[in-house]
Amino acid sequence: MGRGAGWLLVLSDGASRVCCRGRGSKLGFKTHKLKARPWNIVETVELMTRAAGDDYEIIVDPNFTFETPEQSLRLAHQLERYNIQAFEDSFSYETYGWDSYREFRSQTSIPLAPHLYDPKKVLTAIKEEAADMFNVGGSPRLTQQNAGIADAAGFPVWLQVVGLGLGVSGAFATHVHAVIQNASIPSDSLHYMRENSLIHSALTPKDGVVKVPMEPGLGIELDMKAVEHYRVG
């Protein structure tokens, strides 16, 4: 039993991202999540596709820096010929309203994936036909609620339970992922990117999947030598 993981890049230039793509590819990743910016996202996606092939999926996450529906749509049209899995938070639904997300969806083939923590907002986005999938997070209970609402409506999700944590939190997130049936999109849980994750067996992805530890508890063991090495007080 395993959990899909996505390769996350936050580098600023396309060439660096393409170089780092090689490391992700060696770990078997099939999906890239990019912290995108409007001035170079098209060039970056083109370079990555040229290096990785047309079947390599890309999630574009500008953190609202595409700013407006108009600019988001212009960039979407330029990116439609590539394997874009989703736009995540391209412009603010708080500013422009869920109807602008619905209008965006009617004018491009690129799916929209709002990043939400509030179950009420997940439900509203579904009712307003403003999403194709979701990035959901929050506490474990909230994450399950958000994913459950999406699942009832037939929407897939990916989870942001931990992010750039260490091995203990990474193991916890892996177990959370394993029990949410519609968490079928690779998630950005990035404990294995640390210099040391402070556990024996770093839960490193193989073929893009992290194996769920089956031993008692979280299924991991602290590396006490590493803990002592990195102790600061």
- State the DSSP string of 174-228: HHHHHT-TT--S-B---GGGSS--SEES----BTTEEEPP-SSTTS-EE-HHHHH
Range of the domain at 226: 2-230
Maximal CA-CA distance, the chain: 56
Block means of pLDDT (10 residues each) for the chain, 233 residues, are 49 51 69 92 93 90 97 98 97 97 98 97 98 94 96 96 84 92 88 88 82 92 95 86
Distances (CA, A) of 220 to 5, 56, 82: 18, 31, 39
How many folded domains does the chain comprise? 1
pLDDT at 203: 83
pLDDT at 144: 95
Tokens of 231: 């102790």
The interaxial angle of helices 14-26 and 41-52, nearest 10 deg, is: 40
233 Cβ contact list (under 8 Å, min separation 6): none
The model carries a pTM of 0.86
pLDDT at 7: 47
Q: Return the CATH number at 153.
A: 3.20.20.120
